[in-house]
A = this chain, B = another copy of it.
Amino acid sequence: MAKELKELTKRSVNYSEWYNQLVVKADLAEQSDVRGCMVIKPYGYAIWEKIQRVLDDKFKETGVVNAYFPLLIPKSFLSREAEHVEGFAKECAVVTHYRLKTNESHDGVVVDPAAKLEEELIIRPTSETIIWNTYRNWIKSYRDLPVLCNQWCNVMRWEMRTRLFLRTSEFLWQEGHTAHATREEAEERARLMLRVYADVVENYLAVPVVQGVKSETERFAGALDTYTIEAMMQDGKALQSGTSHFLGQNFGRAFDVQFLNRENRPEYAWATSWGVSTRLMGALIMTHSDDNGLVLPPALAPTQVVVIPIWKTDEQLAAINAKAQGVVDGLRARGLSVKYDNDGNKRPGFKFADYELKGVPVRLVMGARDLENGTVEVMRRDTLEKVTVGLDGIEAYVEGLLKDIQRNIFEKARAFRDAHVYECDDYEDFKRRVKDGGFFLCHWDGSAETEARIKEETQATIRCVPFGYEQTPGIDMVSGRPAKCRVIIARAY
């Protein structure tokens, strides 16, 4: 492992390769033998579980309940909503048969041609269609509204180029699907869920985000508005980290979900959908980690503190074990997740490198001299700073340090992000600089043509019209036409 660690490519040499290696070396995930599908390993899954738990609790605080809808969607459902089918039919896994049979040479199995489905089924790429088909029977009156369902599940989009967590054919996510009696309520719900996402991503993943609204081109297929949170990675590229869609009555109409309103008149239900996925793992990894490995926010680290004894004799070990147990117990009593590693088969240097690679936020080392002095050496993973502190009050010290790390990595990421947000009014200047990364705040005339030209000439895309940014009208740097506001343009994952 220590050897493997040395082989981790530096970010400055090849950021992309650094990421790919880190995900595998830190035991987060790996490619499977099924093209484009990943295996999420226990260490990676433990982080995902913590993200899930936080999100799930926050959803429920807003009245959302969980449910489960079928994995398979009849092919014809996709075609019901015109834009939706354009967006999702192109990259679907299609189930055509429901049985295998033994082959002629009796050494394998083949598809049984007799077991062909009348209508093909699609593995859900997203579930608006099957869910709104279900809602038709649930929603008859305004009294049945709102319906606020979420599901945690797997989805599949056949991707040609995949990267662990960032873009995989199968991924895990949650998808919320709500139905409302009024347009206003649905729009407010879409924005509310965006705020929930921003809260969790900033305060737990410690990843600063820009909240905003997508251009028409970048909207979800079938949405009237797509809200987004955009994070900046260390290479200055944008990572779309969560989206929330106001779907208007598009799905209500497509699946005939009508209700009697307070005036006893039939009306189509108003919809939202919103989702975050295992892609968040990519954001988490890429925002904080360094050339030594992962840096995990304490709020989501499976192990928050590792305690490592250093000894020469069995007597020393026994004495340190006894002392350390008190520290471990004290930390656990405060609800911290602590590992005590006195494995004699691994050298301390190996352990140090391994826990750095895994991103454990705080490391305590206790040697013979510490035992004498009643001290312990404390290292914080984010800055790699070491200090020796007294054992008296160590629990409060570590607890405070974890809070400080959580705050520090967020502030560090925000300072980096803020230093790479540029107002830019000159397209030539933009073209020169955009390939080095960063968020460019540029006036945009609102046309799809300009957007397409920027994308074609620079591979950069309009990420969003940012909220909370004081807008002034101006001139589009590309077309020279009047522009109502600035948008964020960046290269993106």
Contacts and interface: CB of A to CB of B under 8 A. Distances in A.
A101 B89 contact: yes
Given A76-B108, A170-B71, A32 B130 contact: yes
Interface stretch (A148-156, A199-207, A425-433): A148-156
Contacts of A70: 32, 34, 37-39, 170
A233 interface: no
A133 B39 CA distance: 11
Contacts of A456: none
A46, A90, A133, A137: residue with the most chain B Cβ atoms closer than 10 Å: A90
A39 B69 contact: yes
A172 B74 contact: no
Q: Could you say how many copies of this chain the assembly holds?
A: 2
Interface in A68-95: 68-76, 78-79, 85, 89-95
A114 interface: no
A122 interface: yes
A182 interface: no
Given A46-B65, A69-B39, A70-B32, A93 B91 contact: no
Contacts of A153: 154
B46 A158 contact: no
A76 to B, nearest CB: 7
A135 to B, nearest CB: 10
Interface in A39-78: 39-42, 45-46, 49, 65-76, 78
B98 A94 contact: yes
A97 B92 CA distance: 8
B94 A97 contact: yes
A67, A102, A122, A137: residue with the most chain B Cβ atoms closer than 10 Å: A67
B78 A32 contact: no
Interface in A142-201: 143, 149, 153-154, 156, 158, 170, 172
A33 B107 CA distance: 37
A109 interface: yes
Contact of A45 (B30, B67, B78, B92): B67
A123 interface: yes
A121 interface: yes
Given A34-B72, A134-B39, A66 B49 contact: yes
Contacts of A34: 70, 72-74, 121, 130
Contacts of A90: 99-101
B108 A99 contact: no
B100 A75 contact: yes
A96 B158 CA distance: 13
A28 B73 CA distance: 21
Nearest to A64: B42
A100 B108 contact: no
A111 interface: yes
17 contacts: A32-B130, A34-B73, A42-B65, A42-B149, A45-B68, A70-B170, A75-B111, A78-B100, A78-B109, A89-B99, A89-B102, A90-B100, A93-B97, A93-B98, A95-B95, A95-B123, A98-B158
Given A40-B67, A92-B99, 9 more contacts: A30-B137, A32-B134, A39-B68, A42-B65, A45-B65, A78-B109, A89-B99, A89-B102, A91-B99
